[in-house]
Amino acid sequence: MAETDKPVFEVADDASVKAARETLDAHTVEMMAWHFHPSTGCPFWLEYAQSLPFDPIKEVHCYDDLKKFPPFQDEWLRGGPVRRWAPKGFEGQPLYVFETGGTTGVPKSRVNSRDFRTDYEMFSDTLPEEYFPKGANWLMLGPSGPRRLRLAIEHLAQYRGGICFCVDLDPRWVVKLIKKGWMEHLEAYKEHCIDQAITILEAGHDIRCMFTTPKLLESLALALEKRGSSIHKAGITGIFSGGTEFTPQWTRFATEELLDGAYMTPTYGNTLMGLAASRPVTPADGYTIAYYAPQPRAVIELVDFDDTNSVVPYGGTGRVKLTTLTKETFVPGFLERDEGERELPYVKYPWDGVSGVRPFHKLASATTVGVY
Amino acid sequence: MHLQALRFGKSYESLERETLVHFLTGETVAEVSQVGGAMVGRDLAKSAKAARAALMAMDPEDVVERLQTAGNLYALGTVEVGGQQQSPDDFVQQQSATTGLPESLCRANMKKNLFVLSNMDRMLDALSRGLSPEILWQGYGKEHRDVIVSYQAQSPVLGLVLPSNSPGVHTLWLPVIALGVGLVLKPGKQEPWTPYRMAAAMLEAGIPPEAIGLYPGPTDVGAAILNGCGRSMIFGSATTVAQYAGDPRVQVHGPGFSKIILGDDCVDDWENYLDVMVESVAANSGRGCINTSAIFASRHTREIAAAIAARIGPAEVKQPDDPEATLAAFTVPGVAKAVWEQIEKGVAADGVTHATAEYGPRLVEGERCGWLRPTVVHCSSPDPEIARAEYMFPFVNVVECPQNAMLERIGPTLVATVFSNDPEFQQKLIDSTHVDRLNFGPIPTTKLDWLQPHEGNIIDFLYRSRALQVGDGVMPPGLNAAADVATT
């Protein structure tokens, strides 16, 4: 590797990578034993196992053995009965159902008991105390309704000893407004959300942390600036944000011109995976945003567009393939609607990462991104 | 070459860039910095008023003179664009390379822009009906009839979401600086060349850099411009037109559906008008909204279609640097084919004939692009769907329609050239509100008189005339002839 090509972040050493892999392999075997045992597995997988030419409990010895499963069809997640996804091992426990998509047609859904809490507790450990102080109150300015994000952020705030203030936001309506070309209504809806956010921020609740999306962060920053204030002056010290429009240029612009010194950490997440944290975003790294899945609970691979069982080389472009391995949910090899570049393991996350996440180019024209 | 964003005097190099390639070879011609809508919104909030203030600090006549200098620099000089010295020849080659327009047509469009800038004083005089530019500068004054008039600028800057189809459209915004209003430009993806070269020429000629913003980027840049500017122009499809219809802040320029109308008293002499018809259809490779997309006549329509087809049907695709080249390429892969498939469906309808069929295939597919050779369609009535079609290449419908039904059937028309000496028919055309520019006689629809308004008077769009009365003993600030005014 040429001197100039050396990564500017701290790459994980081989021993850490190996150890992480061994943990993943052991965790995979444990998950097979859970999901495919009649006493603990969910009806869907127990029934599906009958059609498999192998026994997942006996013949999956490591993570790579999951390739024996045929590709996961996301259509399976649409429609009911949703209880077919509920593991018997959690019988009697309260269940949530979280949805994704759903602008038209039946949304995809995932049942959840405690996973979202675990994911966000793990994520909480990655937040710097200086900017996300324990006990601080939060503002959730993002999609609400049947999404896990709303509850997850509230749990994150509570887990860190704070209270979460929320603003309603219906992304399905936003997508409809865009598709109909009702841009005036779109602006009005955005203003409606921002007005509420500013009202809460100015109401003396000592809110110092916030979740929001890039588009809403832009709008909030501009609205505050018009009032002679700023994100930082409004009291915010730490922002946790997410979305595929999180580009290096956008991050640079936000850092240099919108945040007024507040700290922002990008994340990549969805209802299936949970939450992938990013390694620190720095000017020296060209504001590269690289995400690392919460392994071993979820694994991200960058695979060849045509051969989805082959991982692309480091730096290569591939489609995001997600595997979820929690006791509540098993999703092997789900091909996301995103693509990106494969990143080297980072010292804090000694496994593959992904950068440059954007809509999968073959589906991009049909995807509405950055809508809220 | 790297075209950076221009933030009212400050260049900005984005981490995201769009690569512009040669439509034939695929070679990189330039990289263009891509910025986001929030940057535009933020800059407008901070700099829009300063943009107008920078112009107000200048003498209006000086601004006009500097624009005339800018016109010469743009058309004849070498200016710095994208960190490189760009001669007129460089400009023409680069513009042709990314838009698919033959170089000869790029040069022709340069002449149009030069004409507008060179004649800025005459244009302003005509469009303002002789109003002193000082009145626009200070907001009020006395006009030549000794009456106080007041004009309020409706926005310190005009936002422009520009297209890539024809560099001729830039003539529309060239007077804006001379009216004391700043510019916020989102250049077309394939045609950033005219806005960049024009901005460079204006700045070199002494127009203050605080008066011009240039923001290349995705669609949210356009949305931010429309949202943040009190007045904007957008160029787009019929859908875009519908989206902004009725919004007084936005002037929408969409398909023109320009037409030639042959009245019953003239139609028997149609051969005399053939040159005008051919030029109206085929000039500038049929790319403009002012190109004729339909010819209406009550009889002789098949002969007219055949005669136009004989004139333009044989045109062949030539290399872009061939002085004889007349056809522009569709540079986005697959578009030419998709358009042709649409036309094929249209000509399959009852009452529709393809008049250029005998001159060989219309669709010419290249490795990275495609062309459509001139196409003439005959419609035996205005009913078929294709009779209302407009495409971005030399394409025309010759439509048979009784004269007394024409005004009802032509639909929205940006330019109508009318051959008729029937006073009653002429008056109906003058009165019709769905015809914008009206030509009587042998004037091609593509020939614009820049001393006349285009899709509304830009001064009326940027300024609002309002009442201003001054009582005895009151001296409005800045009015030199204050005593005179006070007693009026």
Percent of chain A at pLDDT above 70? 95
On average, the pLDDT of chain A sits at 91
Q: Which of A189, A247, A253, A264 to mutate to test the interface with B (most CBs of B within 10 A)?
A: A253
Which of A209-218, A316-325, B446-455 has the weakest average pLDDT?
B446-455
Residues of chain A found within 8 Å of residue B4, distances taken between Cβ atoms:
none
- The amino acid at residue A65 is D
- CB atoms B36 and A222 under 8 Å: no
How would residue A371 be classed by pLDDT, with cut points 50, 70 and 90?
very low
Q: What pLDDT digit, counting tens, does each position of A74-105 carry? A: 889 998 899 999 999 999 999 999 988 777 78
The torsion angles phi and psi of A266, rounded to 5 degrees, stand at -75, 150
**pLDDT tens-digit series, residues B193-218:** 999 999 999 999 999 999 999 999 99
Chain A residues near residue B18 by CB distance under 8 angstroms = none
Mutate to test the interface with A, among B4, B14, B15 (most CBs of A within 10 A): B15
User: Do B264 and B172 fall into the same domain?
Assistant: no
CA neighbours within 13 Å on the CB side: how many for B271? 1
The whole-number average pLDDT for the span B115-141 is 90
Q: What is the pLDDT of residue B479?
A: 55
* Residue A238 to chain B, least CA–CA distance (Å): 20
Residue B482 confidence (pLDDT) above 90: no
A249/B45 CB distance under 8 A: no
Q: How many beta-carbon pairs under 8 angstroms link A with B?
A: 45
Task: Sort out which chain A residues have CB atoms less than 8 A from B41's CB and list them.
Answer: 218, 222
Quick check: A107 pLDDT over 80? yes
Chain CA centroid to CA B485, Å: 40
Closest A-chain CA to B224: A187
User: In the block, which residue shows the tokens 């069929």?
Assistant: B357
| b/e per residue B264-276 (b: at least 16 CB within 10 A) | bebbeebeebeeb
CB contact under 8 A, A249 and B42: no
Average pLDDT of chain B is 92
- The alpha carbon torsion through B448, B453, B454, B458 (nearest 10 deg) reads 140
Measured distance CA(B68)–CA(B72) in Å, rounded: 7
Q: Do the Cβ atoms of A106 and A79 come closer than 8 Å?
A: yes
What does the alpha-carbon distance between residue B126 and residue B122 come to, in Å, rounded to a whole number? 6
> Which residue of chain B has the CA closest to A286?
B15
The residue in chain B having the minimum alpha-carbon distance to the alpha carbon of residue A226 is B45
pLDDT at A360: 85
* Identity of the amino acid at A114: R
CB contact under 8 A, A222 and B39: no
Which residues of chain A have a Cβ shorter than 8 Å from any chain B Cβ? 181, 183-184, 187, 218-219, 221-222, 225-226, 247-250, 252-253, 257-258, 286-287, 370
Best CA proximity match to B322, nearest among B106, B42, B21, B10: B106
pLDDT at B448: 86
DSSP-derived letter for residue B144 is: T
Closest CB from A183, A222, A252 relative to B15: A252
Residue with structure tokens 């269940």?
A95
For residues B153 and B463, the answer to whether their CB atoms sit within 8 Å is yes
Using CA coordinates, name the residue in chain A closest to B222: A183
**Integer distance in angstroms from the first to the last C-alpha of chain B?**
59
Closest Cα in chain B to A247 = B16
Domain at B83, CATH number: 3.40.605.10
Beta bridge partners of B357: none
Q: Which of B42, B223, B226 sits opposite A257 (nearest CB)?
A: B42
Mark whether B230 and B369 lie in a shared domain.
Answer: no
The verdict on B14 touching A (C-beta cutoff 8 Å) is yes
Q: Does the bond joining A294 to the residue before it have cis omega, within 30 degrees of 0?
A: no
Here the tokens at position A134 are: 């324990």
pLDDT class of A3 with cuts at 50, 70, 90? very low
What are the tens digits of pLDDT across the range B368-389? 899 999 999 999 999 999 999 9
State the pLDDT confidence band at B486, using cuts at 50, 70 and 90.
very low
Query: pLDDT band for position B82 (50/70/90)?
Result: very high
> Cβ contact (<8 Å) for B15 and A248?
yes
Same-domain pairing of B174 and B284: no
Distance from CA of B331 to the nearest CA of A (A): 18
Q: Which of B94, B92, B64 is nearest to B1 (CA)?
A: B94
Mention every residue, 6+ apart, whose C-beta is less than 8 A from residue A111. Answer: A82, A83, A85, A86, A95, A96, A97, A328, A329
As for how many domains chain B has, the answer is 2
Residue B200 resides in a domain? yes
- Model confidence band, residue B477 (pLDDT cutoffs 50, 70, 90): low
- Residue type (1 letter), A349: Y
Q: β-pairing, B250-253 with B352-354?
A: unpaired
**Backbone dihedral angles phi then psi of residue A211, each to the nearest 5 degrees:** -105, 135
The C-alpha angle B184, B188, B190, rounded to 5 degrees, equals 150
Of B14, B36, B42, the CB nearest to A225: B42
> B288 and B240, same structural domain?
no
| Interface residue B238 vs chain A (CB under 8 A) | no
Asked if A347 and A317 count as a contact pair (C-beta separation under 8 A), the reply is no
| pLDDT value for A102 | 72
The encoded tokens of residue B105 equal 């047509």
Contacts of A253 in chain B (CB under 8 A): 35-36, 38-39
Q: What is d(CA A76, CA A73) in angstroms, rounded to the nearest whole number?
A: 6
B42 and B28 in a common domain = yes
Structure tokens at A51: 């059609």
Residues of B with Cβ-Cβ distance to A222 under 8 angstroms: 38, 41-42, 45
- The number of residues in chain A equals 372
CA distances (Å), B323 to each of B112, B118, B248, in order? 18, 26, 43
pLDDT at B454: 80
User: Cα–Cα–Cα angle for B319, B323, B327, nearest 5°?
Assistant: 55
Which chain B residues contact residue A225 at CB under 8 A? 42, 45
Cβ separation of B35 and A218 shorter than 8 Å?
no
Which of B74, B48, B443 minimizes the C-alpha distance to B279?
Answer: B443
Domain final residue pick, B210, B239, B254: B254
For strands B84-86 and B157-161, give the pairing.
unpaired
Over the stretch A11-52, which tens digit does the pLDDT of each residue have? 999 999 999 999 999 999 999 999 999 999 999 999 999 999
ipTM of the complex: 0.82
* Model confidence pLDDT, tens digit, residues B141-167: 888 788 889 999 999 999 999 988 778
Say if the Cβ atoms of A249 and B35 lie within 8 Å. Answer: yes
Q: What string of H, E and C letters represents the secondary structure of B23-69? A: CCCCCEEEEEECCCHHHHHHHHHHHHHHHHHHHHCCCHHHHHHHHHH
> Do B108 and B230 have their domain in common?
yes
Which position has the token pair 């190109």? B291
- Higher pLDDT among residues B171 and B240, named by residue: B171
Count of helix runs (H) and strand runs (E) in chain A: 9, 13
Predicted pLDDT of residue A345: 97
Query: Over pLDDT 90: what percentage of chain A?
Result: 73
Please report the DSSP string for B371-410 in residue order.
EE--EEEEESSS-SGGGG---SSSEEEEEE--HHHHHHHS
Looking at residue A1, its pLDDT comes to 41
A222/B42 CB distance under 8 A: yes
| Residue B328 clears pLDDT 80, i.e. is over it | yes
Q: Among 3.30.1390.20, 1.10.3720.10, 3.40.50.12780, 3.40.710.10, what is the CATH number of A114-270? A: 3.40.50.12780
pLDDT given for residue A226 in this prediction: 92
Distant-in-sequence, close-in-space partners of A139: CB < 8 Å, separation ≥ 6: A164, A165, A166, A167, A197, A200, A201, A207, A209, A210, A211, A212, A236
A350: closest CA of chain B, how far (Å)? 28
pLDDT of residue B168: 78
**DSSP class of residue B221?**
H
Query: Of B176, B395, B371, nearest to B282 (Cα)?
Result: B395
Residue A138 identity: W
pLDDT band at B487 (very low <50, low <70, confident <90, very high): very low
Name the pLDDT band for A5 (thresholds 50, 70, 90): low
User: In chain B, whose CA is at the least distance from the CA of A214?
Assistant: B38
B488: pLDDT strictly greater than 70: no
Please list, in sequence order, all residues whose beta carbon lies within 8 angstroms of the beta carbon of residue A291, skipping any fewer than 6 positions away.
A266, A267, A268, A276, A277, A278, A300, A353, A354, A355, A357
Q: Are residues B180 and B272 in the same domain?
A: no
Q: In this structure, are residues B303 and B276 in contact, taking their beta carbons and an 8 Å threshold?
A: no
Q: What are the tens digits of pLDDT across the range A316-362? A: 999 999 999 999 999 999 998 889 999 999 999 999 999 988 888 87
Please, what sign has the CA dihedral across residues A266, A269, A274, A276? negative
User: Which of A187, A225, A248 faces B227 most closely, judged by CB atoms?
Assistant: A187
Contact (CB, 8 A) for B91 and B195? no
Query: What residues form DSSP beta bridges with A290?
Result: A355
* Tokens standing for residue B26: 């695929």
Query: Is the CB of residue B430 less than 8 Å away from at least one CB of chain A?
Result: no
Each domain of chain A, given as residue ranges in start order, spans 114-270
Per the CB < 8 Å rule, is B243 touching A258? Answer: no
Which residues in chain A have Cβ-Cβ distances shorter than 8 Å to B35? 249, 253
Q: Is B218 found in the same domain as B297?
A: no
Q: B100 and B65, same structural domain? A: yes
Task: Check: CB of residue A231 under 8 Å from CB of residue A262.
Answer: yes
Answer yes or no: do B239 and B385 share one domain. Answer: no
What is the least distance, in Å, from the CA of A47 to any CA of chain B? 46
Q: Whole-angstrom Cα distance, residue A83 to residue A91?
A: 10
Phi-psi region of A102 (alpha: psi -120 to 50; beta: other; left: phi over 0): left
Q: How far is A268 from chain B (nearest CA, A)?
A: 20
Residue range A138-162, pLDDT digits in tens: 999 999 989 888 899 999 999 999 9
Range of the domain at B362: 258-440
The structure's pTM equals 0.87
pLDDT tens profile A179-198? 888 888 998 999 999 999 99
Contact B42 A248 (CB under 8 A): no
Q: What is the pLDDT of residue B481?
A: 46
Q: Is residue B421 over pLDDT 90?
A: yes
Is the domain of B242 the same as that of B284? no
Task: Check whether B41 has a pLDDT greater than 60.
Answer: yes
Question: B249 touching A, CB under 8 A?
Answer: no
In a domain, B141, yes or no: no
SS3 (DSSP) at B305:
helix
Residue A352 tokens, joined: 């593959």
Res. A6: pLDDT tops 80: no
Asked if A181's CB is within 8 angstroms of B15's CB, the reply is no
Asked, for residue B485, whether it belongs to a domain, the answer is no
Task: Return d(Cα B80, Cα B70) in angstroms, integer.
Answer: 13
Query: Is residue B363 included in any domain, yes or no?
Result: yes
DSSP per-residue string spanning A240-261: EEE-TT--HHHHHHIIIIISTT
Q: Kindly tell me if the per-residue pLDDT of B283 is higher than 50.
A: yes
List the CATH number of the domain containing B366.
3.40.309.10
Does the pLDDT of residue B301 top 80, yes or no? yes
Per-residue confidence (pLDDT) for residue B371, from 0 to 100 = 95
Question: Do A283 and A312 form a contact (C-beta atoms < 8 A)?
Answer: no
Q: Is B223 on the interface with A (CB under 8 A)?
A: yes
Neighbours of A95 (CB within 10 A): 15
Among B18, B35, B42, B244, the residue to mutate for chain A (most A Cβ within 10 A)? B42
Closest residue in A to B223 (Cα) is A183
Question: Are B243 and B293 members of one domain?
Answer: no
